[in-house]
Amino acid sequence: ATPTAIMVGTGLGAKRGVLFKNATALETSARIDTVILDKTGTLTKGEPEVTDFIAHGIGEDVLLALVAAVERESEHPLAGAVVNYAVARGVSSLDASSFRNVPGHGAGATVDGRRVLVGNRKLMIAEGVDIAPIAEQRETLASTGRTAVLVAVDGRAAGVIALADAARETAAPAVAALHEAGIEVVMLTGDNEATARRIAAQLGIDTVIAEVLPEDKSAKVTELQKAGKRVAMVGDGVNDAPALAQADLGIAIGAGTDVAIETADVVLMRSDPLDVPTALRIGKGTVRKMR
Ligand code: ADP
Ligand code: MG
């Protein structure tokens, strides 16, 4: 593109808080045909809240105290929500030892002499926990679009925690605008399939890639590229950085982590999903001017 077109495009973006890091970013924006969006923190606000807490074969407050002790050691956004919930319910605070974080799965620790695990189905299976006693509750909660987290105490299924993370107000309009521009939209998430599908349906997204481990997100981008797609990846998390780097165009949510912002080619300062179609439109305008 001509230096003038680049300057105009960069300026137009800056006005809306869409920061193109360089001329290549602007030119690539014009050629994107597939947009992959991370769910948590990108399509949703990334501020989960506990909506349901179900104990199985153990007192609710006892279980909540055990779980909160584990989650206090974790930096995961879901962990913060569980801790806030425990504080609001006024349960006693216990100490955790031998804490272990399992990326994309959950966490575990020893509390009050008991081994407590908090995380998804994959974690429970890996640890040999029989989840049959809580499977039905898990499915019911997940089918409503809430994230269902499982709890085990000393190797036994002990409860289900449901967390809701509201979609950003402009997530659905952003998906509609991308579809109108003829762009394919894909949701990519570590969350479980049922939860992801439900939220995708609410937002008008028909392609969902769920239960993806943090280290596998960039491989999913590569798969689409090998199928001939020109891919933009939109994300906010540390988990998303390799995928942002792998994509033809990496777009970071401004409210996201530093690593995501540093890795991306474009930063959306207002953290507004509607600025994704805006960025692509500005790119197209810029390239048109150069011809
Ligand atoms: P996302 O891509 O949605 O940000 P992650 O890859 O971070 O998800 O985690 C995937 C899943 O692992 C979560 O949806 C949750 O079920 C489980 N998980 C991970 N860490 C924790 C934790 N500290 N507490 C409870 N659940 C967790
Ligand atoms: Mg995220």
pLDDT confidence of 253, banded at 50, 70, 90?
A: very high
Which residues are placed with Cβ below 5 angstroms of ligand 2, an ion? 38, 40-41, 236-237
Above pLDDT 90, what percent of the chain?
Answer: 93
User: Whose C-alpha lies nearest to ligand 1, atom 16?
Assistant: 120
What is the pLDDT, as a whole number, of residue 287?
86
pLDDT mean over 49-73: 97
C-alpha–C-alpha distance, residues 274 and 21, integer Å: 19
- Ligand 1 centre from 115 Cα, in Å? 19
ipTM of the complex: 0.93
- Cα 25 to averaged position of ligand 2 atoms, centre (Å): 22
- Looking at residue 2, its pLDDT comes to 86
Is residue 291 over pLDDT 70?
A: no
With residues binned 3-state (H G I as helix, E B as strand, rest as coil), the percentages for the chain, rounded to 5, are: 45, 25, 30
- Mean pLDDT score, 124-150: 95
* Other residues' Cβ atoms within 10 Å of the Cβ of residue 291: 7
Is the confidence at residue 202, as pLDDT, over 60? Answer: yes
Reported confidence tier of residue 259, pLDDT bands at 50, 70, 90: very high
pLDDT at res. 290: 57
DSSP strand E in the chain: where?
18-20, 34-38, 49-55, 96-102, 106-111, 114-119, 147-153, 156-164, 184-188, 207-209, 231-235, 249-253, 266-268
Is residue 288 scored above 90 in pLDDT?
Answer: no
**Token pair 């640890």 in the structure block, residue:** 127
pLDDT reading at 106 higher than 90: yes
pTM comes to: 0.90
Instruction: Work out the average pLDDT over 22-39.
Output: 97
